[in-house]
Amino acid sequence: MPTLQQKLFTKFIKWRYKNISNKTFTHVLAVIVGLLAGLAAVTLKNLTYFIESALEDGIVFSSNQLYFILPIIGLTLVYLYVKFVHKEKLEHAISSILFALSKKKGIINLKKIYTPLITAPLTVGFGGSVGLLGPAVASGSAISSNLGQLLHVNAKTRKLLIACASAGAISSIFQAPIAAIIFAVEVFSMDFTMVSMLPLLLSSISGVLTSYFFLGNEVLFNFSLADSFEVNDTLFYIILGIGTAIASVYFTKMYFGILKLFEPLKSPKYRLLFGGLAIGVMLYFIPPLYGEGFDFINNLLKGDHIAALGSNPFDGYMDNIWVVIALLFGLTIFKAVAMTTTFAAGGAGGIFIPTMVMGSALGNVVAKIINNLGFGFEVSESNFTLIGMAGLIAGVLHAPLTAIFLIAEITGGYELFVPLMITAAISYLITKNTLDHTIYTRELAEQGALLTHDKDKNVLTVMRLDDVIERDFKTITPDMTLGEMLHRSVSKSTRNLYPVVNQDHLLVGIVLLDDIREFMFDTTLYDTTTVSTFMHQPPDVIFYGEDSMEKVMAKFQKSGAWNLPVIKKGNYLGFVSKSKLLTAYRKELINFTEN
């Protein structure tokens, strides 16, 4: 018997359908999702800062500078939580959301609401060299997905609400509502139409107001733009764009390279131990690799590279600017290494903020080199620090507009729009032509599960092979006589095609009705001729779990076939017909067009 709460909820759902249009309800949900995603982001930040401050105030670690052993402690706590509580492998935050959008109709596991709020603060708070943006977006997206399921919204609305949650989380963390909307459009491949724009705008506003309410006017970067853009510096910004493009390619390749390096370590314990020790060694020599790195960026923006680099084994040489440049360049190189090692060791976090840290260091390095070469050039180190961040974001994430508006919003540096555009555009163009996919999207693209701004490809991506497989074909065996085939299969089938399988249910060929038509009424052949006489190989085969829908469509186009068999682990599974495939394609295309 339904409880009182269930009865009231059912009444509410019925009342909603009668009195509130889907459009209005979506707008209301966008505000709520933005608020909840903002709360998740604020909670994440506060938990992390609480852990960091508690460790910083601890007499053991702060006075004896043993901070470099903290990451292995944090990773151990994450490992214990995952093993005994979560009991599932941690997934990359943004990639798992993109997969849910393309293949799961926007359905995200309930556990992903709270797991990032636990694992990310433990990782980052104890010094793991990753960011909090990814976990914040993951938690907010899980909230929106489950809220959408609870309120019985359709898959299209659910996907839109996930994008709204990402906008709310980013808006809350950076207090940059415009960049948050653009991130949802660029990274989640949302169509920027009136249908999606208003919900994204509402959730972004809701997220930023949540941040203002709980954190006041506290900003990530306490910086006021002092130096405006000089036309004479254009060449140097072009050089910075090329430099950030090279760094973006390095960042991406290093990410996948280190993950591959850890693959032989099958046990999570060995990964934790090896990775934790490696991070500790890097922290000892380059202390700014500890945690997210916002203090490092702020100190660079203030022109205090001594504070930015912190106490390190090279303190005695810090009066030499080339030693400082070398250390900053070392951080540029090792930030990607430390970040990926944190992931490989079992940590949780995001890549967005490490990208900003690496970009800020590289931008500062380029400016310092220009200013100290002795050729009389003088550029603004703070401006290059900012624009270096934009260059890395544009290159690593393939999101140039997000990079431009984010840096402009969080610093109030709208006067730098021209150099931001120059550097971000060059970095993006070079990186995009070098690497087809980002860290977020490469594995999804390989699986055929990546949504893009190409509607045709998106339609094929969201289509499921299971929905178009037909299993009502009568199977026959190679040793079956013509008479047996006619009586057992042909007479009882409405199809004109018969898959031939052996005793292990492996497909060995097909027989078309046309292949036997002229022999069907020759009774003298019924007992003397077998199926093997008539069977032949299909023009192509679809491999279940391996072929994407785009590849399936290409096989039909290339072979000219009307039906193609589906093979799963060697076994015959069924057929896909061109007519059913095109009907399903047309249906999904209509859904996208309506959206």
The model's pLDDT over 529-570, given as tens digits with 9 standing for 90+, comes to 888 889 999 999 999 988 888 888 889 888 888 899 999 888
For residue 59, the model assigns a pLDDT of 40
Query: Distance of CA 567 to CAs 121, 305, 504, 572, Å?
Result: 45, 61, 13, 5
Interacting residues of 323 by C-beta distance below 8 A, sequence separation 6+: 314, 317
What tokens does 593 get? Answer: 């067009």
For residue 242, the model assigns a pLDDT of 97
* Structural fold of domain 231-452: Clc chloride channel (1.10.3080)
Interacting residues of 24 by C-beta distance below 8 A, sequence separation 6+: none
For residue 61, the model assigns a pLDDT of 47
Low-confidence ranges of the chain (pLDDT < 50): 59-64, 595
For residue 63, the model assigns a pLDDT of 47
For residue 388, the model assigns a pLDDT of 96
> In terms of Cα–Cα distance, which of 185, 244, 255 is closest to 428?
244
For residue 111, the model assigns a pLDDT of 92
Angle between helix 111-125 and helix 70-81 axes, rounded to 10 deg: 160
For residue 291, the model assigns a pLDDT of 85
Q: Which homologous superfamily is 4-215 in? A: Clc chloride channel (1.10.3080.10)
Q: What whole-number distance in Å separates Cα of residue 316 and Cα of residue 322?
A: 13
Q: What whole-number distance in Å separates Cα of residue 32 and Cα of residue 164?
A: 10
Angle between helix 22-56 and helix 111-125 axes, rounded to 10 deg: 30
CATH 3.10.580.10 segments of the chain: 457-594
Q: Which amino acid is at 297?
A: I
CATH 1.10.3080.10 segments of the chain: 4-215, 231-452
Q: Which amino acid is at 445?
A: A
Query: Distance of CA 463 to CAs 45, 229, 477, 592, Å?
Result: 38, 48, 32, 12
What tokens does 426 get? Answer: 């060059």
Is 389:262 a contact under the CB 8 Å cutoff? Answer: no
Q: What whole-number distance in Å separates Cα of residue 57 and Cα of residue 62?
A: 7
Provide the 10 A C-beta neighbour count for residue 138.
Answer: 31
pTM for the whole thing? 0.80
For residue 191, the model assigns a pLDDT of 65
For residue 219, the model assigns a pLDDT of 63
What pairing do the DSSP bridges indicate for beta strands 563-568 and 542-543? parallel
Over the Cα atoms of the chain, what is R_g?
A: 29
| Residues in a beta bridge with 571 | 506, 568
Q: What is the largest CA-CA distance in the chain?
A: 102
Q: What whole-number distance in Å separates Cα of residue 485 and Cα of residue 310?
A: 82
The helix (H) or strand (E) run that includes residue 512 is strand 507-512
The CATH class that applies to domain 457-594 reads alpha beta
Is 331:282 a contact under the CB 8 Å cutoff? Answer: no
Q: Which amino acid is at 237?
A: Y
467 CA to centre of own chain: 26
Is 379:371 a contact under the CB 8 Å cutoff? Answer: yes
